[in-house]
Structure 1
Amino acid sequence: MLTRSMNLMMAASVGGMFGFYLLFAAVPLYVASGGAGEVGAGLVTGAMMLSTVLVEPAVPWLLSRFGYRAAMALGLALLGLPALLLPFSSGLPLVLAVSLLRGAGLGVLVVTGTALAAELSPAGRRGEGLGLYGVAVGLPSLAGLPLGLWAGDALGFTPVFVAAGLAPLAGLAAVAGLPSVRPARAAGDRVSGLRGLAGPALIFAAVTVAIGVLVTFLPLAVSPAQASAALLAQSIGTPAARWWAGRFGDRHGSARLLAPGVLAAAGGTALQVWTAEPVALIAGMALFGIGFGVLQNATLALMFERGPAGRVSALWNLVYDAGMGAGAMGFGLIVGRTGFPLGFGLVAVLIVATLPLTWTSRRVRQGKRSPITGAHADGRLGTSPSPGNGANAG
């Protein structure tokens, strides 16, 4: 599992995601303190996610044209360099421009990393490989989300912005060691059309709306110290649950995890109604983190079983980032009328509404998995033919 290519890819991803998470909750607070208010806080997160989702559908073409190494380098550069401009102004125009550029970098990085993790995982252990990758990219959230808030309050925002700019650029050293390969072209989906992908994608969309709301607005609903503790609890639960879900899914099927994941995520979000109670706040975010991690792995593994890696990675990450952006922007528009407790309750209802999809998703026929056997002579990562489909899946 831990090949040289996998280790280098995860090291580069960790650098990029640390820079991302360090600013994810800090920048909305920065722009809100600069006079843009709650609407401005939602806009900067929404703008970043909008840029991300606009770029992500083009990443499979970018991978096939330039390869994994060039794509990861581009993503890291776009995440790191614009962050170094933030100390010059907290005004909304500059922060929005930086957020748009960083969002593009995020889109390139996450689609590339997710697809490559699936490609590099051994046969029969794709769920575990995705879980391992999830732990790697979850560790930056464990440190970055609470650290960005704490350091912005204790040290000022400038050191946070500089660190967030340098961390992705440091990841370029790992990218230099990756092989210059391109993904193999897929001959066709293992489940026709959107039938096999729609259910898991919609379930995941609801929970990503919730994470966009909670990460953006929890620091505004409670004190920075309480928000840091709650986000730390979520950041611990998510990667651990994602790794466990991968191992369980390889042995018993990922579809079985959908309903428990939805219930855990909804229950954790519902507990945020009691923001004045520190125990409910932190316990709720820990429970949400577990549900979020389970659904990250379960939905992604199911989708990889039903479609080619490049397209599935782009769709899953597009859903992830579109949901986060929509949650942040939509909640920013309604929270002035509903208040934080009622608003968090409505988000929990949205997650519960996807529960019927967990049953329909289990009834969709699952395709065979295809292990990677190496690289084609022209530099493309290859897969061995799946039994019964006679085509490379990849």
Structure 2
Amino acid sequence: MTETPEAAAASRAVRPPLLTPPLLLRFVSVLGASASFHLLLSVVPGYATPAGGGGAAGLATGALMLATVAGEFATPALVDRYGYRAVLAVGLGLLGVPALALPLSRDLGWIVAVCLLRGLGYGFTLVAGGALTASLIPAERRGEGLALVGIVGGVPALVALPLGVWLAAHSGYGLVFASGGAFALAALASVPGLPDRVRASGRAVGIGIGEGLRSAGLRRPAVVFAFAAMVSGIVVTFLPLAVRGAATGSVAVALFVQPAAATAGRWVAGRVGDRRGSAGLVLPGLLLSAAGTLLMVATAEPVVVVVAAGVFGTGFGILQNATLTLMYARVPTAGYGTVSAVWNIAYDVGMGVGAVAFGWLAAATGYPWAFALTGVAVLTAVVPAHRDRRPRSTTAATGP
């Protein structure tokens, strides 16, 4: 029987609400963590450079991201024992307090130690907060809801990445580090009002991280996303160092354009994915990411650098939403914590490994060749992206 226009309108009218009070309160900690993280992300590598050049810059970012991965592995068990609120609060504290301590020394060991602590805290906020956020979004509006969360977290990145570089150049590193610490610590005020859904997470009947990493339904989108995340870590770490001479003014613009394009890409992918499915968006997102990376070869051309950042950002945003939406759709609610951990591990391993490896590669080949080889490496993920075009059922998450 064909649905009448009146019935269709009624069906749309009874869609579950998206902006509930708990989700709005959760946005506060999303904003605080994102602002704190991204304000320092492109600044700390420059702060570390006098201690060892590009290798020190890559080591700082690599330590940050690899510690984040360690925090992500540990978070599901910590949430089971202590609850979402406690783990999220500790994560915000570890993001904020060490940032305030960075001005005490420019010794590379000190900088790496601070990055390790902040990375651990960021991992706690990502996984504990991500699983809690997913449980607050209706399944019927998952793509749109995750896109909205992406915008809330993306706006601070959009502003903070270029603002951090600008403030460091005009007001010094101390103001940047103090601001980054303050954002994370201020967000602690929102934590007591959040749900503490330890039992609702259902870890006893869910999927463990090891099982999630072995699952093709989760592993393939995570691997594809990791390749794009690799470039994201390279851009925020090395673009300010790769662009020299008359083109240096384009760096702040590019660091604004990249997260802006990513935010737009996430929103479009969320809206389209809820209507047509997210599986078909993974391959286009990957190809756009690779194209933007290859365009970064032209580090001496300001316009090309900005365009490259926009193309990469668009593809990266599409992949962020499409891969995460697919992964949540392939597990029961009890597996949301595992999805959050696996996806964020892919993100942060990609960023960390990309930053460290690119530093070594650029030292041997120069920045243009390093960007070219990285673009080719991203294209190797076409195979899993192509195989993952069709949506899978929840049971497929544990398939081969």
**What TM-score, normalized by structure 2, do the two folds share?**
0.89
Q: Which residue of 1 aligns with 2:9?
A: none
Q: Which residue of 2 aligns with 1:38?
A: 54
Letter of the 1:58 partner, please give it: A
2:382 corresponds to which of 342, 351, 355 = 355
Q: Which residue of 2 aligns with 1:380?
A: none
Q: Which moved more, 1:224-233 or 1:321-330?
A: 224-233
Shift of 1:35: 3.1
Shift of 1:123: 2.7
CA distance, structure 2, for counterparts of residue 318 and residue 353 of structure 1: 20
CA distance, structure 2, for counterparts of residue 207 and residue 123 of structure 1: 26
Question: Is the Cα–Cα contact under 8 Å of residues 279 and 391 in structure 2 kept in the other structure?
Answer: no
Question: Is the Cα–Cα contact under 8 Å of residues 278 and 391 in structure 2 kept in the other structure?
Answer: no
CA distance, structure 2, for counterparts of residue 104 and residue 363 of structure 1: 35
Q: Note the alpha carbon deviations across 1:233-280, whole angstroms, 9 max, x for none.
A: 001111121122111111111001011101111111111001111111
Question: Is the Cα–Cα contact under 8 Å of residues 45 and 57 in structure 2 kept in the other structure?
Answer: yes
Q: Which residue of 2 aligns with 1:214?
A: 235
Q: Which residue of 1 aligns with 2:313?
A: 289
- Paired-residue identity, %: 46
- Alignment of 1:68 with 2:84, yes or no, is yes
Runs of 4+ in 1 over 4 A off after TM superposition: none
Change in CA separation of 1:291 and 1:81 when aligned onto 2, cut-off 3 Å: same
CA distance, structure 2, for counterparts of residue 291 and residue 222 of structure 1: 22
1:145 corresponds to which of 161, 170, 176 = 161
Q: Note the alpha carbon deviations across 1:163-205, whole angstroms, 9 max, x for none.
A: 011110000111122133324215345x985121121011001
CA distance, structure 2, for counterparts of residue 97 and residue 35 of structure 1: 14
Secondary structure, in 3 states, of the residue corresponding to 2:140? coil
Q: Which residue of 1 aligns with 2:46?
A: 29
Question: Is the Cα–Cα contact under 8 Å of residues 196 and 364 in structure 1 kept in the other structure?
Answer: no
CA distance, structure 2, for counterparts of residue 261 and residue 311 of structure 1: 24
What is the number of equivalent residue pairs in this alignment? 368
Q: Which moved more, 1:59-68 or 1:201-210?
A: 59-68
CA distance, structure 2, for counterparts of residue 281 and residue 48 of structure 1: 26
Letter of the 2:22 partner, please give it: S
CA distance, structure 1, for counterparts of residue 391 and residue 39 of structure 2: 39
CA distance, structure 2, for counterparts of residue 110 and residue 47 of structure 1: 17
1:304 corresponds to which of 328, 332, 340 = 328
Question: Is the Cα–Cα contact under 8 Å of residues 150 and 225 in structure 1 kept in the other structure?
Answer: no
CA distance, structure 2, for counterparts of residue 364 and residue 297 of structure 1: 14
Shift of 1:85: 0.7
CA distance, structure 1, for counterparts of residue 342 and residue 283 of structure 2: 21
CA distance, structure 1, for counterparts of residue 147 and residue 129 of structure 2: 13
Letter of the 2:176 partner, please give it: V
Question: Is the Cα–Cα contact under 8 Å of residues 117 and 129 in structure 1 kept in the other structure?
Answer: no
CA distance, structure 2, for counterparts of residue 365 and residue 282 of structure 1: 37
CA distance, structure 2, for counterparts of residue 213 and residue 81 of structure 1: 26
The structure whose residues are more often helix, as a share, is: 2
1:14 corresponds to which of 31, 43, 54 = 31
Letter of the 1:155 partner, please give it: S
- Alignment of 1:131 with 2:124, yes or no, is no
Letter of the 1:312 partner, please give it: V
- Alignment of 1:328 with 2:355, yes or no, is yes
Secondary structure, in 3 states, of the residue corresponding to 1:229? helix
Q: Which moved more, 1:239-248 or 1:266-275?
A: 239-248
2:217 corresponds to which of 196, 199, 205 = 196
CA distance, structure 1, for counterparts of residue 243 and residue 273 of structure 2: 36
Q: Which residue of 1 aligns with 2:12?
A: none
CA distance, structure 1, for counterparts of residue 361 and residue 138 of structure 2: 46
**Which runs of 5 or more structure 2 residues have no equivalent in the other structure?**
1-17, 396-400
CA distance, structure 2, for counterparts of residue 358 and residue 31 of structure 1: 36
RMSD in angstroms over aligned alpha carbons? 1.8
Matches within 5 A, 1:190-269: 193-223=214-244, 225-269=249-293
CA distance, structure 1, for counterparts of residue 249 and residue 173 of structure 2: 16
Q: Which residue of 2 aligns with 1:382?
A: none
Shift of 1:297: 0.6
Q: Note the alpha carbon deviations across 1:265-312, whole angstroms, 9 max, x for none.
A: 111111100111111100110111110000001111111112310001
Question: Is the Cα–Cα contact under 8 Å of residues 147 and 321 in structure 2 kept in the other structure?
Answer: yes
Question: Is the Cα–Cα contact under 8 Å of residues 254 and 301 in structure 1 kept in the other structure?
Answer: yes
Letter of the 1:137 partner, please give it: G
1:99 corresponds to which of 115, 137, 159 = 115
Q: Note the alpha carbon deviations across 1:341-364, whole angstroms, 9 max, x for none.
A: 110111111111111212211246
CA distance, structure 2, for counterparts of residue 133 and residue 256 of structure 1: 21
CA distance, structure 1, for counterparts of residue 181 and residue 206 of structure 2: 39
CA distance, structure 1, for counterparts of residue 119 and residue 374 of structure 2: 24
**What TM-score, normalized by structure 1, do the two folds share?**
0.90
Question: Is the Cα–Cα contact under 8 Å of residues 75 and 127 in structure 2 kept in the other structure?
Answer: yes
Q: Which residue of 2 aligns with 1:52?
A: 68
Question: Is the Cα–Cα contact under 8 Å of residues 71 and 122 in structure 2 kept in the other structure?
Answer: no
Q: Which residue of 2 aligns with 1:389?
A: none
2:373 corresponds to which of 346, 350, 354 = 346
